[in-house]
Structure 1
Amino acid sequence: PGIVVRPVGKFRTVQEYNYETLRSNVDVLKLIQLGLTFSDEDGNLPNCGTDRYCVWQFNFREFNIWEDAYASDSIELLRQSGIDFKKNSERGVDSHLFAELLMSSGIVLNENVRWITFHSGYDFGYLLKLVMNRSLPPTQGGFFYLIRMYFPNLYDIKHLMKFCNNLHGGLNRLAEMLEVERFGACHQAGSDS
């Protein structure tokens, strides 16, 4: 839903301000969609018994575009990417049931599962809120403690790009540079995953 809250007050560091921005927004906003892509250790994607690769996009029902807070530019981007908010509210996934199934799936709290992400602070903020069914911790240290507990083997490619001389830009730019083919529409969670 974007960023709708900017914290006020005195912050000792930029990191403290950035975390408070993340926390404040995740706590007041609702998750709209989540994309997951699974692969084996060699990077092979499942085909689910078809001739196409499988990725999963979950559109959640709780977000109500007519009642909930959101950033207009974020919602417009999702609309242009094909997200149907009315359909999601009527037929979307129940986030509480999803959280239960995610926790019982074996992919959370499992150090043998590698989470490969891109610029994923907000993504994992929403995931933590979802699986814990409560607000995020008041400190960045508490947040990272929970991230390490629930997702112990996590790599954020955007962060790792800082250590590679020729890699820069957003997800689409990185995919182009590495000649990775996109499947599906840009800015939809399944395709972005």
Structure 2
Amino acid sequence: MNDPEVKIHDVWANNLEEEFKRIRDTVKNYPFVAMDTEFPGVVATPLGQFKSKEDFNYQQVSCNVNMLKLIQVGFALLDKEGNMPPTGDVWQFNFQFSLNDDMYSQDSVDLLRNAGIDFGRHQVEGIRMADFGELLTTSGLIVDEHITWLTFHSGYDFGYLMRSILLSELPKEESQFFQYHRKLFPCSYDLKMLLKHPGLVNAKLRGGLQELADQLKVIRKGQQHQAGSDSLLTAQTFFKIKERFFEDTWDQVAPTVEGHLYGLGNTLSSGAPFVQMTDSSSTPEPQQSSTPEAT
């Protein structure tokens, strides 16, 4: 893996088309797309009886994604060896968001503000989700089996991207969500799923993205809890794991995790019913932008 000087490009409404053009040119030779989002936390908990913990988790993802707005999306593009473009480009898209008008978790907003998010600028210069989704659709990043998406605990991340593309609410049924996911992002790996592999369990690799990177001695470039830096750290951590643990066996390991998203599908339980009666702290872990689990 090369180590160019990293340049995190902040993308706002006024340079959105220009930066997507650069991405379209770059992805032709750098088809591994690491992605992270920052969003305003989790504000809603579905109540009732669910088929499984995963079903509850999906309903929580969908109701929050449908209610809330994106704050940032980060893209880092690499080649199959984990090399960045020699220019060191990473993209960080900043969305229209108003602390006065939009819903959010106060803890999440406080964390993001402490990480350097300028909410005043987001309100004035931020990207409209519809404009982002339209350009993402023609970016060369989606609906292409030659593009590989790299993420960490990414149910919310893909949910927000999907909503920007569809310009509608996420489907009520998780099975429909996965049909969209397979169509739009035909090849994807969630590092949190990869951690369940016996080789990584035996190596005692665990925790959130930053903790995992620290265990592997992967050095962060940029600010934690900002989407550009987090997307690049996701990519570099993925390639470090692949190199250290699966150099000769990746072709056998990849099909066991490809397309799975941690906490959704059948990744946690055997389908036992799950009842959520009250909004308690004992619920299955959701990904939140304000917790170490996500970043």
SS of residue in 2 equivalent to 1:106: coil
Deviation for aligned residue 1:94: 2.5
SS of residue in 2 equivalent to 1:55: strand
Query: What residue in structure 1 maps to residue 62 of structure 2?
Result: 23
- Pairing partner for 1:84 from 118, 121, 124: 118
SS of residue in 1 equivalent to 2:74: strand
**CA–CA distance in 2 between the matches of 1:43 and 1:182?**
15
**Which of structures 1 and 2 has the larger relative contact order (alpha carbons within 8 angstroms, sep 6+)?**
2
- Pairing partner for 2:89 from 54, 68, 71: 54
Deviation for aligned residue 1:30: 0.5
SS of residue in 2 equivalent to 1:10: strand
Deviation for aligned residue 1:34: 0.3
**CA–CA distance in 1 between the matches of 2:161 and 2:184?**
10
Matches of residues 87-126 of structure 1 in structure 2 within 5 Å? 87-126=121-160
Query: What residue in structure 2 maps to residue 69 of structure 1?
Result: 103
Q: Kindly provide the amino acid, as one letter, of the partner of residue 12 in structure 1.
A: K
> Percent identical across equivalent pairs?
46
Question: Does residue 37 of the first structure (1) align with residue 72 of the second (2)?
Answer: no
Q: Kindly provide the amino acid, as one letter, of the partner of residue 189 in structure 1.
A: A
**CA–CA distance in 2 between the matches of 1:47 and 1:186?**
23
**CA–CA distance in 1 between the matches of 2:229 and 2:220?**
7
Query: What residue in structure 2 maps to residue 6 of structure 1?
Result: 45
SS of residue in 2 equivalent to 1:116: strand
How many residues were matched structurally? 188
Deviation for aligned residue 1:180: 1.5
Query: What residue in structure 2 maps to residue 175 of structure 1?
Result: 213
**CA–CA distance in 2 between the matches of 1:141 and 1:185?**
36
Question: Does residue 153 of the first structure (1) align with residue 187 of the second (2)?
Answer: yes
Question: Does residue 138 of the first structure (1) align with residue 172 of the second (2)?
Answer: yes
Q: Kindly provide the amino acid, as one letter, of the partner of residue 54 in structure 1.
A: D
**CA–CA distance in 2 between the matches of 1:177 and 1:10?**
38
SS of residue in 1 equivalent to 2:150: strand
**CA–CA distance in 2 between the matches of 1:34 and 1:47?**
22
SS of residue in 1 equivalent to 2:133: helix
**CA–CA distance in 1 between the matches of 2:146 and 2:76?**
16
Deviation for aligned residue 1:95: 2.0
SS of residue in 1 equivalent to 2:193: helix
Q: Kindly provide the amino acid, as one letter, of the partner of residue 16 in structure 1.
A: D
- Structure that is richer in strand per residue: 2
Deviation for aligned residue 1:77: 0.7
TM-score (norm 2): 0.62
Give the gaps of 5 or more residues in structure 2: 1-39, 232-295
Q: Kindly provide the amino acid, as one letter, of the partner of residue 3 in structure 1.
A: V
Deviation for aligned residue 1:12: 2.2
SS of residue in 2 equivalent to 1:90: helix
**CA–CA distance in 1 between the matches of 2:44 and 2:111?**
19
Give the gaps of 5 or more residues in structure 1: none
**CA–CA distance in 2 between the matches of 1:162 and 1:65?**
38
Q: Kindly provide the amino acid, as one letter, of the partner of residue 77 in structure 1.
A: L
Deviation for aligned residue 1:108: 0.5
Q: Kindly provide the amino acid, as one letter, of the partner of residue 172 in structure 2.
A: P
**CA–CA distance in 2 between the matches of 1:41 and 1:101?**
25
Question: Does residue 184 of the first structure (1) align with residue 184 of the second (2)?
Answer: no
Which of 117-126 and 12-21 deviates more? Answer: 12-21
**Per-residue displacement from partner, 1:20-51 (whole Å, max 9, x unpaired)?**
11100000000111001000111111233xxx
Deviation for aligned residue 1:101: 1.1
Question: Whose Rg is larger?
Answer: 2
RMSD: 1.0
